[in-house]
Amino acid sequence: MTSERNPSQAPKRRRMGGYTPLALEHTDAEPVPAESVQTHLQQQQQADSQIAEKAMTTSATTDDVTAMIDRTQLQGMDLPGEGAARKPEQLKSAAEHAPARRRRMGAAPQAAGGQEVARPSTDSAGGGGSGAVQTGLVTLPAKATSSTRLLGTKGAAGGGPLSKSTVAGPAWRKPAVATAVLLVLGLLVVFGARWLRTLEGVQQFVMSYSGHASQREGAPVGIPAWLGWQHFFNMFFIVLIIRTGLQVRTERKPPGYWTAKKDSFFSPKGNSPKKVSLSQWLHQCLDVLWVANGMIFIALLLVSGHWTRIVPMSWDIFPNMLSAAVQYASLDWPTENGWVHYNALQVMAYCLTVFIAAPLAVLTGVRMSTWWPERAKRLTKIYPVEWARALHFPVMLYFVAFTVVHVFLVFFTGALRNLNHMYGSRDIVDWWGLVLFLISLLVIAAAWFLTQPLFTTPVATRMGKVTK
């Protein structure tokens, strides 16, 4: 017996995945108009075009970049059909696993950081098909640092990445330019001062004011031995203080850290022990010794009367300062007789250094140190630490400038006599003062070497806790 299959009961065909009928089969629903289909295809094409433009315009150095992956480079990956938009997470994951494509002849040059970018193009499929977005390859680094971005951006304009040395130039360029500028300015000052001294009015002014201001009667003469020793200790401590101060200011990774013991000298009662770098601990130790030496120096100045030699005693200090400045600038220097009488510029420089710059260095340093009382809220508000930082560094620069000028004048205004005054306490010309000066330099060099962490760490361990 044969039976005929009912056509209405025939099994339905299996459709490929992703197929969505526009109308229900074997129903009485009306077919979708052709205009609706065309509108749907146009909207899909516009969406694909926006995605492609966004991929092109997005910066390749940002972490949230969406990579456009070349289908020919991703074998074995489940990619959507033409015209489908991928999720940013899928694109980024595919970019990380995609093999790098070699650059072909005539291809676009690499962008910053070695990135090869191919612009996506939109082509319309013939026969009324949907618009398809043909994606290119974007090879990106996992993460770009700020320096890589800067150098890569500048290098891309020239066809390739540049190094830091290429962008900033050689390391010696800035010091060389600064030195050349200073030499030119110095020459201009010298020529200008020498021209001024040819004028009759300036000549009369220099004759009236020799450069030496009035000095108090009965002022002591000569330089005693204690002053020579104080001078050596001051130079010894100030050199090491400037060195450690620059270390505190410039070091990025200290060799170690130091924490004071509770209620100790470096952490007074009421303060919690602070953790500072070994360089700052050494800086504070040297500050204590320098301040102690300075207090002894000022006490001896007051007792012996030598303070009258470095403190202005009359208003004629100002015209004599101007006269001495013109004489120094013209290289026709005023008469030097420091054993008896300093000139006006020397008096003012010594007065500013001893009675103004040194106290400023102490006051600003204490504010930034571990000695500042934590519970003094009102005092902290009146004297913010930002003020101390803003003043402390310029004061250090003043000491550097004073030392450089002081040493220069010592050697160019009679080195043997001046060194005998300061180190030998004698007003004669021989080599003894120079020998003592060279010995003092050896002592300072040895101390400079011994300030390394290898030698300072054991001492710091006895005064607190040292950690890496």
Structural domains for the chain: 209-467 (1.20.950.20)
Instruction: Round to whole Å and give the CA distance between 267 and 269.
Output: 7
Q: Looking at the predicted structure, is the pLDDT value of residue 120 above 50?
A: no
Highest mean pLDDT among 161-165, 205-209, 214-218: 205-209
Least confident of 69-78, 258-267, 359-368, 395-404: 69-78
Least confident among 4-18, 213-227, 303-317: 4-18
The share of the chain scoring above pLDDT 70, in percent, equals: 67
| 324 CB-contact burial (10 Å; exposed 0-12 / middle 13-18 / buried 19+) | buried
Could you read off the pLDDT of 400-430 as tens digits, one per residue? 999 999 999 999 888 999 999 999 889 989 9
- Partners of residue 124 on adjacent β-strands: 131
**Tokens in use for 369?**
């140190």
Q: Which residue has the higher pLDDT, 363 or 38?
A: 363
Reply yes or no on whether the pLDDT at 92 is more than 60: no
Least confident segment among 155-169, 229-243, 408-422 = 155-169
Separation between Cα atoms, residue 209 and residue 93, nearest integer Å:
83
Confidence band, pLDDT 50/70/90 cuts, at residue 29: low
Arithmetic mean of pLDDT over the chain: 77
3-class secondary structure, 272 = coil
pLDDT at 67: 43
- Residue 54: pLDDT above 80? no
> Which distant-in-sequence residues (6+ apart) come within 8 Å of 234 by Cβ?
290, 293, 294, 297
Q: Cα(318)–Cα(25) distance, rounded to whole angstroms?
A: 109
